[in-house]
Structures are given as C-alpha cells and as structure tokens.
A = this chain, B = another copy of it.
Amino acid sequence: MKQPLVVGIDIGGTNTAFGLVNQQGEILAKENIHTEHFPLPEDLVAVVCKNIKKAFQPFVETHELKGVGIGAPNGNHFKGTIEFAPNLKWKNKIIPIVQLFSERIPVKTILTNDANAAAIGEMIFGGAKGMKDFIFITLGTGLGSGIVANGELIYGHDSCAGEIGHVIVFPDGRQCGCGRKGCLETYCSATGIKRTYADLLMSRHEKTSLEEKVADAKYIFDKALQGEEAAIEAFDYTGKILGFALANSVAYTSPEAIFLFGGLALSDQFIFEPTIKNFEENLLHIYKGKIKILPSQLKENTAAILGAASLVWKELVY
C-alpha cells in the first residue's frame, strides 16, 4: 500500500514555500519561489503546482498525495480565498486560491491564515500534541495567534477569529497599523520591542538614532545577553504587557498551555521570565498555577510548511 503524503504551502509576501510532508512530520522535499515575480496569482499557482508535481515524482511509486494545506495572509478558511492581503501583490483582490490549486491538483485542499496553520502544526507535530485547548502566539513583525478549543481551531463565523494582536491593551496607547491605538502587537512583537527599546534609549540619551535603526529583536537580545540595562528593560516591559494580556486571554478559553513562537520567543528567559511572572500575577485565582507558557516546539524555518500540511493531516488522522 502506498504511504500517504501531504503538501504544505506557505504563501508569503516575498516567498512562497512548499514541502512534501509525511505523517511523522518529516519534510521529504521542499522548495522556495519568489511570490513577487508573479503579478497574477494564477501564474504563481501554475508554477507552484508544476514544481509540486516534479518534486513528487521520486515518490510516485511509493506514496499517494492525499491533500494540500495552504497557509496565507488573510486566508479565509470557509471561502477558500485570500482577501485583500496587504503584503501581497494582489492586495486589492479576492483570490479563489483553493479553487486555483484544486483545479491543478485535485485533492482535498484546506486554507487558513499563517498563524492558524502554525497553531495546528503545534498540535499535530509540536508541543501541543494531545492538547484540546491551547493558544498559539507568533511574535513576528506583528503578533499573530491561533486559538484551539475543544480540539478545533476557532475560526469564528467569518474565519476572522484569533486576532489577539489587535486586542487593545491601552485605549490611548501606541498607534497601530490597523488605524487604532494601543493594540497588543504595538508592544509585543519584534516591531513593538524595537519601539520600546528606542524609547528607552532616547529617554536615556545613550544612543544615536543611527544605532537605533540597526536594532532588531535579535540585536536587542544580544545586548540583553551582554547585560545592557535598556535591552533588559525592553524585554521586561514587553513581558509585562504580554503577561497581562495573556492573563486576560485565559478568561476566554481557559487553555492548558500558551505557546510562544517567532523571533522574540527565541530570546529565552529574557522574554519568558517577565511574561510568566506578570501572567501569574494577573490571573484570576481559579487559573493560577494551572496554565503553562511554553516555547513553541516548531522550528522557525519549517513551521510554515509543517503548519500548512498539518491542516490536512488533522483531517486525515485525528
């Protein structure tokens, strides 16, 4: 009998990556294509599908292609469309991406946004194995999230659930790209900690604006490792707000664990210690000491493909 195999596709503003993923979460083949080279989504899909078929050739005797999972910004799970994704070239359009793919590769095709896909990746192949209730947070340029309750992703009635990055933590807080003020992601994200760090440096008159420009989350982490006070303080402040916001999140879905993923989550104790401390301090008593805040077990460079593939694996196996 042929072994089942699934394609995971991650469509991003710069790159579109795909991989062939087996039931153990091993990526048997993978490839990157520059999304930006394709002004029309149909052309991107055509090339991706051609390359998927080529990549599948060595496995055609031993494996069977069971499905395609797609993670994409603004991916609408119910409609199978990418809608007005600001970071894609087709940002003014509604793209029927599931239809485009399944016309060329007629198998089960499932779409969701990138953070949701990674959350399912954590459940099928990562640290959330066996969990039915957890929250997955990705601390990247923004703060993305996927919420799992009763063993299922919460999509909401319109596929737009799980936008914890846009929970307002300070009504008159930092300006957010969404047009409102005080959203969690303006504080707790790579961009957020950069703003905090720049503020701290400026208030201390310690650095020039030139140096601030080179700061990214990794740079701030390195500075914290060297013992720089402003860098450590930036992490403390980020963790303080993240811990507070996650304590509020618990009141909605009472998860077993919250997973942190992305660049900031790699900053070890600098982000986890203040986050966990402020999380516990702000929890309602019935939740105290019961909920784990954990680093994601997914790897940065394969999480997107694994997450997308796991959308299909979840349907096939679990």
Contacts and interface: CB of A to CB of B under 8 A. Distances in A.
Nearest to A284: B166
B244 A154 contact: no
Contact of A254 (B149, B155, B286, B287): B155
A119 to B, nearest CB: 13
Contact of A154 (B150, B178, B247): B150
A233 interface: no
A290 to B, nearest CB: 6
A132 B152 CA distance: 13
A65 B297 CA distance: 49
Contacts of A253: 147, 154, 156, 161, 252
A12 interface: no
A60 to B, nearest CB: 37
A133 B152 CA distance: 13
B282 A160 contact: no
A58 interface: no
Contact of A251 (B159, B164, B282, B290): B164
Copies of this protein in the complex: 2
Contacts of A149: 149-150, 152, 154, 156, 161
A248 B290 contact: no
A157 B133 contact: yes
A166 B283 CA distance: 9
B251 A167 contact: yes
A36 interface: no
17 contacts: A132-B157, A133-B155, A133-B157, A133-B161, A149-B156, A150-B150, A150-B155, A156-B253, A157-B256, A158-B256, A158-B290, A162-B254, A163-B251, A163-B286, A164-B251, A178-B285, A249-B252
